[in-house]
Amino acid sequence: MVNTKVNLCGIELDNPVIPASGTFGFGYEFAELYDINCLGTFSFKGTTKDARFGNPTPRIAECDSGMINAVGLQNPGVETVISHELPELKKCFSKPVMANVSGFSIEDYAYTCEKLDKEEQVGWLEVNISCPNVHGGGMSFGTSPEAAAEVTKAVKAVTTKPVIIKLSPNVTDIVSIAKACEEAGADGVSLINTLLGMRIDLKTGKPVIANKMGGFSGAAIKPVGIRMVYQVSNAVKIPVIGMGGVSNAEDVIEYIMAGATAVEVGAANLVNPYASKEIVENLPAVMAKYGVKNLIDIKGCAHNG
């Protein structure tokens, strides 16, 4: 027998498989297909203070071994998430859920996190700092250690539950940003978010998506995710959630060997709605194949090589 359990910021998960925000809705849509309680948990759709329609269409472009999206954080706003989405989720999911939060100012982040922190169903707050800092001239909070720390401190000041900061890979030194978040009080970090990508329509000579550029995800970005998780987990003491190109149980093992405590599954859910379920089901056999009895035994083992 193998043990798939992991501990994420003081909360035990049956397994480390977590569908990523933006690829799993608010869960109950997937609950129509299978029992989502088989998952470790999931990160629900990125939520902002106010409702957002998102970017104009087209928003999606296919790529070799991946996809580009520029949905633009479309969501009903935190009040509706609390009054409608979470009660619907509670009907089909009995575990703590990860609340993903985005914002356009420090005040936005603090307001939304404080609201969601009070919800019994919320186990962790995953704070996405890859959004534009509109009040600061369009700079992303996630590209500056100082700005990342500022968001972390503001959220920690108004919450009691574990705060996990989601980092952008579109930076020169992700380690310095992760360390700044840790020093500011973050309970964990998750990485990587999407890379910035673009496609051009050869018939029109124009960008495929209306936003011109968008987030590139899928199997092609896994080596970047593995590298960054390896670097960050070696530099911080807080848990790291790894993601980027995860599509099978072998990918989960590889991320944990790089230093991740848990692993998020993103684009694969959009290709195959059963992807996360299949990864959970296949994980014990893959662990046995590689002689792994407990996931904790291989966490960060690549650092010993």
Cα 105-107-111 angle, rounded to 5 deg: 125
> From the candidates 9, 113, 131, 181, which is the catalytic residue?
131
Domain assignment present for residue 204? The answer is: yes
Residue 259: inside a domain, yes or no?
A: yes
Tell me whether strands 206-207 and 200-201 are parallel, antiparallel or unpaired.
antiparallel
Which residue has tokens 């608010």?
26
In a domain, residue 114? The reply is yes
Rounded CA gap, 151 and 129, in Å? 8
Enter the tokens of residue 242. 């790894």
Pairing of strands 262-265, 17-19: parallel
131 catalytic per annotation = yes
**254-296: pLDDT as tens digits:** 999 999 999 999 999 999 999 999 999 999 999 999 999 999 9
Q: For residue 56, which of 212, 208, 210, 201 has the smallest C-alpha distance?
A: 210
CATH number at residue 242: 3.20.20.70
| 1 located within any domain | no
User: 109, 122, 124: which is closest to 49 by C-alpha?
Assistant: 109
Query: Which residue range(s) make up the domain with 206?
Result: 6-304
Task: Give the predicted TM-score (pTM) of the model.
Answer: 0.95
Contacts of 184 (CB under 8 A, 6+ apart): 148, 149, 150, 152, 153, 156
Q: What is the pLDDT of residues 208-238, one digit of tens each?
A: 999 899 899 999 999 999 999 999 999 999 9
Assigned domain for 224 exists = yes
Helix (H) or strand (E) holding 17, with range, is strand 17-19
Name the domain count of the chain.
Answer: 1
- pLDDT tens by residue, 25-63: 999 999 999 999 999 999 999 999 999 988 889 999 999
Q: Report yes or no on 108 lying in a domain.
A: yes
